[in-house]
Chain A
Amino acid sequence: MRHAAQLGLAVLALWPAWVNAAASESLGDAVKATFLYKFADFVEWPATSAANGPFVLCAVGDDGVTALAERAAAGQRVGARAIVVRRLQQVSPADGCNAAYLAGSSAQSADAAAAALDGTPVLTIADAENHPGVPAIIKFVLADGRVRFDVDDAAAAANHLMISSRLLDLARTVRKR
């Protein structure tokens, strides 16, 4: 019941973003927060990466998105796996993240976090509005007042990830592997 209410909230949060092109900052953050776990559906992790247990989504640092991430993913699943959102100030491969949103913190900048996870099977996501040039795999951008994203497929390859062509189709730009 609680999950259903949270889902309804998330949909409500998402709804205006669809109809109103001029999304406000907070609405944009809500959309980004829901996108975080939705990406997982279109990404394949290497077989060695732990396929059992919950899907670990790390929210590293603090911004509008990390604040909403836990609420947005509540009750959602990636395939058959439940989603666990872990709030961190800094991240390392040892944290066992499957995906990580890198907002940057005083302890670790977004760029540093991305560099730390480089070469490990972690889907790195960052907001290019706040951190242009961050070496994450997926970077949120605003285009025509809507939340879009760029995909660095080469970086995904470096992290041993396969990104679905359906997701690549939706990307604003794709850096080929």
Chain B
Amino acid sequence: MDALPVFPRVRLLRWWVPAAAVLLIAVGVLGILYEENLYRSEQVGEATVQADILSSSVAAALVFNDAGAAQQYADALETNPEIEAVEVYGASGVPVAGFVRTGAGRAPASAPVPALVADASRVTVTQRVTRNGMAQGTVYLRLMMDPFGRRLVRFGGILLLVTMALLVLAVSTVAQRALRRANERLSAQGAELADINRRLQLEMAERAVAEESLRQSQKMEAIGQLSGGIAHDLNNLLAIMQGNLQLARKRLAQGKADIQRYLDGALDAISRAASVTHRVLAFSRRQPLSPRSVSLNALLADMEDLLRHSVGERVAIELNPDATWNVWCDANQMETVVINLAINARDAMPDGGTLTISTSDRHVTPSQDVAGGEYVELRVADNGVGMSEDVRQRAVDPFFTTKPQGRGTGLGLSMVFGYVRQSNGSMRIDSEPGSGTVITILMPRYAAQASAVNA
């Protein structure tokens, strides 16, 4: 497995987070400055408008020297809490009317020159009052800016937004960092996993090699088990050759030339011996496991010679190939199964008997041993010594054997059982002491053939 990719986005984070934070703060500061500027220009505008209104309203009062009316106009502005001082001066510059809030600075004692002054805390407007193109006097108006605290509250929205944005940024940064760490941890684990996987695959390959050689050694063991029968057969054939050749020599010594039938007999024995060795060699050849569609009948027919030689003359072999379906299995392995069962049967019949091998088609209902469906049954029966219930139950255990030391390994039936289960088949042993043993193997029908037949 490859290490997980690290996204380039994660790398970008390193510089854009502080950049975004700086940008946010800059935008916030700009927003506050803009608000502040707007507020100041609004206050300046308001002061100017109020001064305009005052000068326009007091004009008549100044024209007609009505200080009382002028005072009323000035007092009207007192309702605006932001205005802290108002003064109305007559044409001569003498104060006529006005007010100053407690605590606020006094208005100038004589009319100042018209001006507009705005500093951090107040706006001061001085305007000429004119009527009919003539100067009638001067108005002076001082407006307070909101205290800094109040203005700060007004900027609260912007401050809150910027703070929230910074917070979100901080949280997402932390989250991204955590994600990156998790990512790194994950890729480390991934590398570890890949290493474990590699080791596992290596072990699997080793195991496959070991299984392969185990299969081979089981085959060789079967041949070893058979060697007695085969040697006996070969010995018989040698005896036939020897007899024929001796007869031929005797006839030659008698000066007779009719040795043709002796030589034919010897040659026949030689070719039969060659056939036996050929089959043993074919069986013992190391071959890879390759399942294919196999006809058990054909397989048994091919093996018949080998089986006859293996079990010896005292055991008769009876074949009942009644099956019509094929099975899906490795033919080589299947041969090993049959040979193993034949050896067991032969060993169960030391005084001779009959080995019956039958095949037949079977429709099987589901049970705890096997799923329901179509199977081919291979039945290997002997009329040998049989086995006790205790032995029957342990028969397929690895290394369990009833044969004398050096004759059996206890792996034959175990191998057969393992192979059958691996092929989704089942195996049953029916036996009683003294009444022989029947081994029934069910192998699943080859599906392609089944569908071809059904179609």
Contacts and interface: CB of A to CB of B under 8 A. Distances in A.
Interface in A74-100: 77-79
Secondary structure at the A interface, as helix, strand, loop or mixed, is helix
Contacts of B67: 18
A79 B131 CA distance: 9
A149 B67 CA distance: 14
A77 B63 CA distance: 14
A164 B60 contact: yes
A51 to B, nearest CB: 16
B64 A41 contact: no
A79 B132 CA distance: 6
Contacts of B60: 42, 164, 166-167, 169-170
A17 interface: yes
Which of the listed residues A31, A149, A164, A170 has the most CB atoms from chain B within 10 Å of its own CB?
A170
Which of the listed residues B59, B60, B65 has the most CB atoms from chain A within 10 Å of its own CB?
B65
A19 B67 CA distance: 10
A170 B92 contact: no
A124 to B, nearest CB: 18
B284 interface: no
A165 to B, nearest CB: 9
B57 interface: yes
Interface string B44-71: 0000000000000101110111110100
B90 interface: yes
B132 A17 contact: no
A18 B136 CA distance: 13
Contacts of B63: 38, 41
Contacts of A77: 132-133
A38 B59 CA distance: 12
A170 B131 contact: no
Contacts of B57: 166
A58 interface: no
A78 B64 contact: no
B131 A41 contact: yes
Contacts of A78: 132
Contacts of B132: 41, 77-79
Interface in A111-154: 146-149
Nearest to B132: A41
Interface residues of B, number: 17
A18 to B, nearest CB: 5
A14 B65 contact: yes
Interface in B416-432: none
B90 A170 contact: no
Nearest to B73: A169
Contacts of B92: 11, 15
Interface residues of A, number: 23
Nearest to A147: B65
A35 interface: yes
Interface string B254-284: 0000000000000000000000000000000
A8 to B, nearest CB: 12
A66 B67 CA distance: 26
Nearest to B64: A170
Contact of B65 (A18, A79, A166): A18
A146 B92 CA distance: 19
A41 B136 CA distance: 13
B66 A170 contact: yes
Interface in A1-51: 11, 14-15, 17-19, 31, 35, 38, 41-42
A166 B60 CA distance: 6
A35 B69 contact: no
A166 B61 CA distance: 8
A164 B65 CA distance: 17
A166 B59 contact: yes
Nearest to A17: B65
A167 B61 CA distance: 8
Nearest to A144: B68
A11 B131 CA distance: 16
A169 B57 CA distance: 10
Contacts of B133: 77
Nearest to A42: B60
A40 to B, nearest CB: 9
Contacts of B65: 14, 17-18, 31, 146-147
B69 A38 contact: no
B346 to A, nearest CB: 142
Interface string B87-107: 000111010000000000000
Contacts of B94: 19
13 contacts: A11-B91, A17-B65, A19-B94, A38-B64, A41-B131, A79-B132, A147-B65, A149-B64, A164-B60, A166-B57, A167-B64, A169-B61, A169-B69
Interface of B: 57, 59-61, 63-67, 69, 90-92, 94, 131-133
The 3 closest A-B pairs by CB, nearest first: A166-B60, A41-B132, A18-B65
Given A15-B92, A79-B132, A148-B66, 18 more contacts: A11-B91, A11-B92, A18-B67, A18-B90, A31-B65, A38-B64, A41-B131, A42-B60, A77-B133, A78-B132, A146-B65, A149-B64, A167-B60, A169-B60, A170-B60, A170-B61, A170-B66, A170-B69
